[in-house]
Amino acid sequence: MCNTWVEIDLKILSDNISLLKRSTVPGVEIIFVVKANAYGHGMAVVAEHAFKNGVKWFAVAHAEEAVRLHKCLPEAKIIVLGGVTPNEVLEFMGKNIFPVIIGVEHARSLADKALSRGSILECHAKIDTGMGRLGFGWETAAQAICQLDGELGLKITGIYSHFASACSGKTFATIQAARFFKVIKSCENRGMKLFRHISNSGGISENPAWDMDAVRPGIALYGYSPGSKIQVKRNIKTKPFLQWKTSIVQLKKVPAGFPVSYDGTFITPRETHLATINAGYADGYFRALSNKGSVIINDVKCRIVGRVTMNLSIVDLGPDDIAEEGSEVILLGSSDGQSIWADEIAELCGTIPYEILTSIKTNDRRIKNNN
């Protein structure tokens, strides 16, 4: 049994999917990004439930994720966003798994491997419109893609790009979208019919004109905004459906002037109760939360005091006896009006909610409302 666990409320996920469908242009597909174990939520359970709710497309980062997802959802269509190797595409043959080509030589190496097995590889082409990460340079992409599509072993059926700053840099996002539209138009003028997608969660919030044939929500479907303090055209208010919990290992009543944890960075200002909880930075509970973070115990928000250690952390419960050993502790979640969500924790740690969620380490996932 794990020392921490997560609780997944699938009814909230259903509501998030329904809201996103209502908010996007009718007929637009949802490509649900479930890489990194569905942002720490559990890829299999999240994808299977989303599929029941009408989501047919999914995106992962690596070949191994794609093969694993296909085993539990063989009818789903899966895009592999990372640059796969020729040997990896052999596992995609005969499955609804679509690798992404990121350059001419990469595309030809995948095509050659497919041909060696007597197959045609169906794929999507990634266009670098300004992210600077993976993809064909947008200036020459159309010519290269149209040439590749005519070569043996390769069938390009989709085209996509990725916003670098859909929320915090609207002007640049508009430039990226214009570049992408230009590539698409050039390909279409050469007779190609492509499945087009560019909007991540930020793009979906910013501009309906960017919905195209599909959108690729990630963080939005997990209940968080893609950026903080932003002005958006479509305010899609989804809700988190993951709570992360642990329990109290030991309680102590200590006097004023008591030093807590490594280096004594916290000294109790009064007589109080301390709770040692069963989570530390080895579990994904960031050390940066030392003397800054909070947890919820019996509907009361309580402060983390002293250094967060590898496997344990210490909480100041105050002078009242509000808990007992074994009591549940909410690390991330809500209870009776009190809440601690990943965006709040991220701000304390100087990071983003994506990192908070994907850092959670537990195999104990408890499912609610699975119908």
DSSP secondary structure letters along 90-145: GGGTTTTEEEEE-SHHHHHHHHHHHHHTT--EEEEEEEESS--SSSEETTTHHHHH
Instruction: Return mean pLDDT, the chain.
Output: 94
pLDDT of residue 103: 97
Kindly report the backbone phi and psi dihedral angles of residue 64, in degrees, each rounded to the nearest multiple of 5, phi listed first. Answer: -60, -40
Phi-psi region of 95 (alpha: psi -120 to 50; beta: other; left: phi over 0): beta
- Quick: pLDDT tens for 123-171: 999 999 999 999 999 999 999 999 999 888 999 999 999 999 866 546 8
pLDDT of residue 1: 67
Angle at the Cα of 278 from the Cα atoms of 11 and 347, rounded to 5 degrees: 65
The alpha carbon of residue 86 and the mean position of all alpha carbons in its chain are separated, in whole angstroms, by 26
Residues with Cβ within 8 Å of 147's Cβ and at least 6 positions away in sequence, in order, are: none
Residue 343: count other Cβ atoms within 10 Å of its Cβ. Answer: 17
Distances (CA, A) of 135 to 92, 132, 145, 368: 21, 8, 11, 40
pLDDT of residue 94: 87
pLDDT of residue 166: 66
- Quick: pLDDT tens for 279-308: 999 999 999 999 999 999 999 999 999 999
Q: How far apart are CA 4 and CA 17, in angstroms?
A: 27
According to DSSP, residue 209 is labeled G
Residue 67 clears pLDDT 70, i.e. is over it: yes
Q: How far apart are CA 353 and CA 347, in angstroms?
A: 8
pLDDT of residue 151: 87
Q: How far apart are CA 287 and CA 280, in angstroms?
A: 7
pLDDT of residue 343: 96
pLDDT of residue 232: 54
Is residue 47 within 8 Å of residue 36, measured between CB atoms? Answer: no
Q: Residue 287 corresponds to which tokens in the numbers above? A: 């050390």
Q: What count of residues does the chain have?
A: 371
Kindly report the backbone phi and psi dihedral angles of residue 19, in degrees, each rounded to the nearest multiple of 5, phi listed first. Answer: -65, -45
- Report the DSSP beta bridge partners of residue 275: 251, 315
**Catalytic positions, please?**
35, 262
- Quick: pLDDT tens for 238-266: 999 999 999 999 999 999 999 999 999 99
Report the SS3 class of residue 169: coil
pLDDT of residue 350: 97
Share of the chain above pLDDT 90, in %: 89
Is residue 174 within 8 Å of residue 158, measured between CB atoms? Answer: no
Domains of the chain listed by start with CATH number: 9-215 (3.20.20.10), 242-340 (2.40.37.10)
pLDDT of residue 228: 52
- Quick: pLDDT tens for 13-43: 999 999 999 999 999 999 999 999 999 999 9
Residues with Cβ within 8 Å of 105's Cβ and at least 6 positions away in sequence, in order, are: none
358, exposed or middle or buried, with CB in 10 Å at 0-12, 13-18, 19+?
Answer: middle
pLDDT of residue 85: 96
